[in-house]
Homo-oligomer: A and B are copies of this chain.
Amino acid sequence: MTESVGDLGEFRVIDRITERYRQNTAVIVGPGDDAAVIAAPDGRMVVTTDMLIEGRHFRRDWSTAHDVGRKAAAQNLSDVAAMGARATALTVGLGAPPETPASWVEELADGFRDECAAVGASVAGGDTVRSSEIVISVTAVGDLEGRTPVPRSGARAGDVVALCGRVGWAEAGYRVLSRGFGSPRVFVEAHRVPQVPYDAGPEAADLGATALCEVSDGLLGDLGHVASASAVTVDIDPTALDVPDQMREIAGALGADPLDWVLTGGDDNALVASFPPETALPDRWQVIGTVRDGEPEVLVAGAPYEGGPGGHVHFG
């Protein structure tokens, strides 16, 4: 018989989860009290929340519980990085039907732990409740270590736009899985767990980024937020975007345009930033466009992008 979370009850589920965590030195009070206490040596704390719903943000037949835990953690840890901060801790709200296998929840917790380990953060608290579908709400907190937080609103005419990390890979994996295929593995894996360049966030802040944003809704969609908040036009050079041969091949096989995936695919959690034009950028920051005065919009090679649906629409 598979043991379920309903068999265990709330407090034993919490015990099973929390025994899997190790607390880093930033955690002054960890799980088991009314609230956690986290060191905030900077005197300011970055806080962000993202929610994932089964069937909408992940599927249990496509991703393991460990994958889902890593992805849910990554979405939030990358938001902390996108302010120029280092993540220190997560809290996790978990809603699950009583028939959910206890092992699924344990592996989910392992996924949170393992993705946190990539940045030295830990899971410091949370809540578990009964729900009719699996709901995961993650809050990440982080420390700015003296940096000025980098908003979306600081892009200025003359800045260059640079990208660090992958775009389109998770979308390619989603399309492949949607057609019932399990390969190419690189894209399927990218859909399951993003590879996030966490330390590029603080790096961008240190390099003097004028605006910084995580790419979770798609490159055009998220740069649209930067264009709006900064009241500038962003012009993307599509020839500067990296479209791997393997992505071209699989897009061709599926009758899709790989540039569409790169420009509008979400969930890779890349970082995109604007920098003053004279900034000496490390290799992993690839210049993909420019900022100029004009309507708050994102252009591709000087014109509105006509392809693709553009960004995720969550309530559509």
Contact = CB atoms under 8 A, between A and B. Distances in A.
A179 interface: no
Interface string A33-46: 11111111111111
A52 B137 CA distance: 11
A42 B92 CA distance: 24
A46 B36 CA distance: 6
Copies in the complex: 2
Given A29-B151, A49-B93, A137-B49, A316 B34 contact: no
Contact of A83 (B35, B51, B130): B35
B6 A315 contact: yes
B6 A53 contact: no
B141 A9 contact: no
Nearest to A152: B33
Interface stretch (A120-128, A233-241, A250-258, A282-290): A120-128
B9 A91 contact: no
A36 B214 CA distance: 14
Contacts of A265: none
A276 interface: no
A42 B130 CA distance: 35
Given A35-B46, A43-B39, A130 B94 contact: no
Contact of A135 (B51, B91, B313): B51
B40 A44 contact: yes
A157 interface: no
Contacts of A89: 47
A100 to B, nearest CB: 9
A98 interface: yes
Interface in A72-107: 79-80, 82-83, 85, 89, 91-96, 98
A265 to B, nearest CB: 17
A13 B315 CA distance: 9
B125 A48 contact: yes
Interface string A274-316: 0000000000000000000000000000000000000011111
Given A32-B229, A39-B43, A129-B315, 16 more contacts: A10-B315, A28-B44, A34-B79, A34-B82, A37-B83, A40-B45, A47-B89, A47-B139, A49-B93, A51-B93, A51-B95, A53-B135, A91-B139, A98-B315, A129-B314, A135-B135
Interface of A: 5-6, 8-10, 13, 28-29, 32-53, 56-57, 79-80, 82-83, 85, 89, 91-96, 98, 124-133, 135, 137, 139-142, 144, 149, 151-153, 212-214, 229, 312-316
20 contacts: A6-B315, A10-B313, A29-B149, A32-B229, A33-B153, A34-B80, A34-B213, A35-B48, A35-B140, A36-B46, A36-B48, A40-B40, A43-B43, A49-B125, A49-B126, A49-B127, A98-B315, A129-B314, A131-B135, A135-B135
